[in-house]
Amino acid sequence: MIKKLLLSIATLGPIGYVRGSGTLATLSTLSVSYFLPALSCSLLVQIILLSFSLLVCVALCSYTAVHFQSTDPSQVVIDEALGSLVTFVGIPIELPYLAVGFILFRFFDISKCCGINRIETLNNGWGVMLDDVAAGILSNILLRCIFSFWS
């Protein structure tokens, strides 16, 4: 029972088992991002919650790596979800920001540019999670730059 629950969380239910699961997980997370401002959390609280989530997800990814017998199982998409949430920390949750943030995050997540590919080599779930967190941080910074230029 617990094993099924852990796998379901790591794969976001059935999302991790479909083609394009990383993109679908990111799209699914946009809906969560949209409702986050309703929690009225300060930026500090958001960062603390994401940091705690990162630690939990690293442990979860370490567990699922053993289950799927892979260091970075394609079925595990919780990393895309967390990376996507990082993209929108402190960002206005409006359609233009969501659209551009989605594109930026998927670009950095897929291309693994700017040193993200080196982060991916870390062990025990850290590489699985931190490459997406790095993609989210880069996306967040670039998103801020783009919209400050347009404003």
13 domain residue, yes or no: no
Domain that includes residue 116, residue range = 22-150
Number of domains in the chain: 1
Q: 2 lies in a domain?
A: no
In a domain, 5, yes or no: no
37 inside domain: yes
- pLDDT, residue 86, reads 95
C-alpha torsion sign, points 34, 38, 42, 48: negative
pTM summary value: 0.92
Query: pLDDT 10s digit of each residue in the chain, 151 long?
Result: 899 999 999 999 999 999 999 999 999 998 877 776 666 678 888 889 899 999 999 999 999 999 999 988 999 999 999 999 999 998 888 899 999 999 999 999 999 999 999 998 998 899 999 999 999 999 999 999 999 887 6
| Cα–Cα distance, 76 to 15 (Å, whole number) | 9
Vertex 130 angle, CA 126 and 135, to 5°: 160
